[in-house]
């Protein structure tokens, strides 16, 4: 395998280790032999591997049904055309929340025994998150939605599983009085109605196409009841701004109606509303979380969170077949530790927080300083100002020079131009993430774990931390490794 290919493979985020399917992806042949209703959807490649047609809604729905039944003991169904969830993907989000709840980032909940209470915003007809959260982890849920079909089928899916039905409450979000139906929006001719049952509504003052803010029904404020508290909320928001945009992926057929997929302003507007509601509800939730479909929105939302003064922001990347999704989490609970733990604690990823960064410095200054730190000993560096990363390749000589504090002269350093070619070189990436104003997370990811120099990685990252802390931070103490 070429080093480029190998690197790409290593950088790929993995399915959550607690996910049932992380080591055992669904076995279509086995499922077909166990469930005759699934058999007609399974066909075999020339190499004998069983497959299904991902563009066939009936096939994906049947797969979800048999996976939920076989692996989770859940009885489940959705009507034609409703959004059909992929069980392994949805499980990743549940396990990420499990990690957040069990981490020491904020104090653990107390006074409520072990009962975890979550709020699923927009549960859909499939009610997938409450079903998985309750069956896998015994969590309680309030699951909200706006459409009659979603509420009706979510209720059915809960009732058909009596062993967990006590754990899940389906809650209807009431639409506002004067409404604009999505059909009206679709053909450009707004149609008005009063108290349209089951349809998300759009208030009239938000109709301007310039205004991309959310104009639909309540999300958390006015849905959460007085005095209610939750450990977390979660949301797979309507991602798209228009139905045309929602229909862009012809490679899969997961269904999805207008109401499920689209809202004015798309996910950016919807999640912004969750953030605004969180400002009102503050510590009624220990963690607020949402799925994000576009990286550019993740950046916008993260800076929005900094503006509103949350105490912590966490992000993660979910593997969703060939596409990427991100998880965004925030809290108003004061953190106990300054350590952020990724879901996979591996020696090839080391991070530290830089706090108390002086005002005049931003992430780009830190990034440039990372580059010059390694260039000074002759290592090869590639700075990417878009992804906020520096890719470093260092020879054993460079590593030793770094650990012995030896700085090479400029021309000596630049003479190491073919350093990337040698397989024994240590390759790693340093990424810089803005957390809250004055605080950055610096992450080092080792690219070639099996390299004999990898034992030096932790000392190298420690040296880097000491150097950056000395240069940029007001408080010089405290090492926060993960
Ligand atoms: C993308 S679907 C997600 C469904 C399901 N949670 C899943 O992951 O497959 C978004 C859902 O949010 C619902 N929704 C839209 N606006 C809402 C609101 N203000 N409150 C609650 N649910 C809402 C839609 O009806 C739809 O069922």
| Span 18-76, pLDDT tens digits | 898 988 899 999 999 999 999 999 999 999 999 999 999 999 999 999 999 999 999 99
Q: What three-state secondary structure class fits 22?
A: coil
Question: Which one is predicted more confidently, 393 or 475?
Answer: 393
* Reported confidence tier of residue 290, pLDDT bands at 50, 70, 90: very high
**pLDDT exceeds 90 at position 425:** no
Cα 260 to ligand 1 centre (Å): 5
Cα 237 to ligand 1 centroid, rounded to whole Å: 6
Within 8 A by CB and 6+ apart from 126, the residues are 64, 76, 78, 82, 83, 84, 85, 153, 154, 157
d(CA 385, CA 281): 36
Q: Of 136-140, 381-385, 397-401, give the lowest mean pLDDT range.
A: 397-401
- Cα separation, 143 vs 190, whole angstroms: 30
Q: What is the pLDDT of residue 291?
A: 96
User: In the chain, what are the domain boundaries?
Assistant: 14-341, 346-472
Taking CA atoms only, the protein residue closest to ligand 1 atom 1 is: 238
Mean pLDDT, residues 69-89 taken together: 95
Nearest CA to ligand 1 atom 26: 260
- Classify domain 346-472 at the CATH class level: alpha beta
List ligand 1's pocket residues with C-beta within 6 A: 83, 85, 121-124, 126, 128-129, 144-147, 150, 173, 200, 216-217, 219, 236, 238, 259-261
pLDDT tens sequence across 472-482: 887 543 333 22
Q: Which CATH superfamily is domain 14-341 in?
A: Vaccinia Virus protein VP39 (3.40.50.150)
pLDDT digits (tens, 9 = 90+) for 50-61: 999 999 999 999
Least confident of 201-205, 335-339, 426-430, 436-440: 201-205
Cut 0.90: pTM above it? no
Instruction: Flag whether pLDDT at 123 surpasses 90.
Output: yes
138 is known to lie in a ligand binding site: no
Helices of type H across 232-340: 243-246, 258-261, 266-281, 295-308
Predicted confidence band of residue 320 (pLDDT cuts 50, 70, 90): low
Instruction: Output the 3-class SS for 413-470.
Output: HHCCCCHHHCCCCEEEEEEEEEEECCEEEEEEEECCCCCHHHHHHHHHHHHHHHHHHH
| pLDDT(190) > 50 | no
Atom nearest to 125 CA in ligand 1:
27
Would you state the pLDDT for residue 295? 85
**Protein residue closest via CA to atom 2 of ligand 1:** 260
Residue 76: per-residue pLDDT: 98
Single out the residue of 421, 426, 422 nearest to residue 456, CA to CA.
426
Residue 2 has pLDDT above 50, yes or no: no
- What is the pLDDT averaged over residues 446-450? 79
Instruction: Quote the pLDDT of residue 347.
Output: 61
Sign of torsion, CA 205 208 211 212?
A: positive
Give residue-wise pLDDT tens across range 208-253.
456 788 989 999 999 999 999 999 999 999 887 776 665 545 455 5
Confidence (pLDDT) at 259: 73
Cβ pair 380, 362 in contact under 8 A: no
Q: Is 90 labeled as ligand-binding?
A: yes
Question: Quick check: do 14-341 and 346-472 share a fold?
Answer: no
Say if CB 38 and CB 62 are below 8 A apart.
yes
The percentage of residues in the chain with a pLDDT greater than 90, rounded to a whole number, is 47
pLDDT of amino acid 449:
72
> Is residue 146 predicted with pLDDT exceeding 60?
yes
Q: According to the model, what pLDDT value does residue 23 have?
A: 83
The pLDDT assigned to 322 comes to 65
Question: In whole numbers, what is the pLDDT of the chain averaged over residues?
Answer: 81
265 among annotated binding-site residues: no
Residue to substitute in 234, 238, 247 for testing ligand 1 pocket (most ligand atoms within 8 angstroms of CB): 238
Which residue's C-alpha comes closest to atom 18 of ligand 1? 219
Among protein residues, the one with the nearest Cα to ligand 1's atom 23 is 122
Q: Which residues pair with 352 in a beta bridge?
A: 442
Summarize pLDDT for 258-276 with one digit per residue, the tens.
777 778 888 999 999 999 9
pLDDT, residue 111, reads 57
pLDDT at residue number 416: 34
Quick one: pLDDT at residue 196? 32
Per-residue HEC secondary structure of the chain comes to CCHHHHHHHHHCCCCCCCCCCCCCCCCHHHHHHHCCCCHHHEEECCCCCEEECCCCHHHHHHHHHHHHHHHHCCCCCCCCCCCCCCHHHHHHHHHHHHHHHHCCCCCCCCCCCCCCEEEEECCCCCCHHHHHHHHHHCCEEEEEECCHHHHHHHHHHHHCCCCCHHHEEEEECCCCCEEECHHHHHCCCCCEEECCCCCCCCCHHHCCCCCCCCCCCCCCCCCCCCCCCEEEEEECCCCECCHHHHCCCCCCCCCCCHHHHECCCHHHHHHHHHHHHHHHHHHHEEEEEEEECCHHHHHHHHHHHHHHCCCEEEEEEEEECCEEEEEEEEECCCCCCCCCCCCCCCCCEEEEEECCECCCCCHHHHHHHHHHHHHCCCCEEEEECCCCEEEEEECHHHHHHHHCCCCCCHHHHHCCCCHHHCCCCEEEEEEEEEEECCEEEEEEEECCCCCHHHHHHHHHHHHHHHHHHHHHECCCCCCCCC
């Amino acid at each position: 395998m070429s080093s480029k290919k190998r690197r790409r493979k290593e950088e790929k985020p993995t399915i959550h280790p607690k996910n049932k399917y992380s080591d055992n992806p669904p076995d279509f042949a086995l499922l077909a032999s166990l469930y005759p209703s699934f058999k007609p959807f399974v066909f075999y490649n020339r190499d004998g591997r069983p497959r299904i047609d991902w563009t066939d809604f009936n096939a994906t729905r049947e797969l979800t049904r048999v996976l939920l039944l076989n692996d989770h003991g859940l009885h489940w169904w959705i009507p034609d055309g409703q959004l059909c969830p992929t069980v392994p993907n949805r499980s990743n989000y549940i396990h990420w929340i499990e990690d957040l709840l069990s981490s020491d980032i904020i104090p653990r909940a107390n006074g409520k025994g072990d009962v975890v209470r979550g709020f699923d915003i927009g549960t859909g007809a499939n009610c997938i998150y409450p079903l998985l959260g309750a069956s896998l982890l015994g969590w309680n849920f309030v699951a909200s939605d706006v459409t009659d079909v979603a509420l009706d089928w979510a209720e059915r899916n809960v009732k058909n599983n009596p062993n967990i039905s006590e754990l899940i409450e389906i809650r209807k979000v009431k639409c506002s009085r004067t409404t604009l139906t999505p059909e009206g929006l679709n053909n450009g001719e707004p149609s008005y109605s009063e108290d349209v049952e089951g349809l998300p509504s759009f208030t009239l003052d938000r109709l301007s196409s310039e205004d991309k803010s959310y104009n639909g029904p309540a999300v958390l404020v006015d849905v959460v009841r007085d005095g209610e508290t939750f450990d977390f909320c979660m949301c797979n928001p309507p991602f798209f701004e228009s139905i045309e945009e929602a229909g862009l992926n012809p490679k899969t057929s997961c269904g999805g109606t207008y109401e499920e997929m689209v809202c004015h302003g798309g996910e950016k507007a919807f999640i912004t509303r969750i953030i605004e509601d969180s400002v009102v509800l503050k510590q009624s939730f220990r963690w607020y979380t949402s799925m994000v479909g576009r990286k550019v929105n993740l950046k916008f939302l993260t800076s929005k969170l900094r503006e509103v003064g949350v105490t912590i922001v966490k992000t993660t990347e979910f593997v969703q077949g060939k596409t990427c999704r991100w998880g965004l989490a925030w809290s108003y609970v004061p953190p106990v530790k300054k350590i952020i733990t990724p879901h996979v604690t591996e020696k090839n990823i080391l991070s530290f927080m830089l706090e108390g960064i002086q005002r005049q410095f931003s992430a780009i200054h830190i990034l440039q300083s990372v580059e010059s730190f390694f260039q000074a000993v002759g290592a090869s560096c590639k700075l990417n100002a878009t992804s906020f990363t520096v890719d470093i390749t260092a020879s054993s000589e460079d590593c030793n020079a770094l650990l012995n504090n030896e700085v090479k002269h400029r021309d000596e350093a630049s003479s190491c131009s073919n350093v990337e070619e040698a397989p024994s070189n240590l390759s790693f990436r340093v990424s810089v993430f803005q957390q809250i104003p004055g605080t950055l997370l610096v992450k080092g990811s080792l690219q070639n774990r099996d390299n004999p120099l990898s034992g030096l990685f932790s000392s190298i990252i420690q040296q880097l931390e000491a150097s950056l802390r000395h240069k940029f931070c007001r408080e010089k103490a405290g090492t926060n490794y993960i």
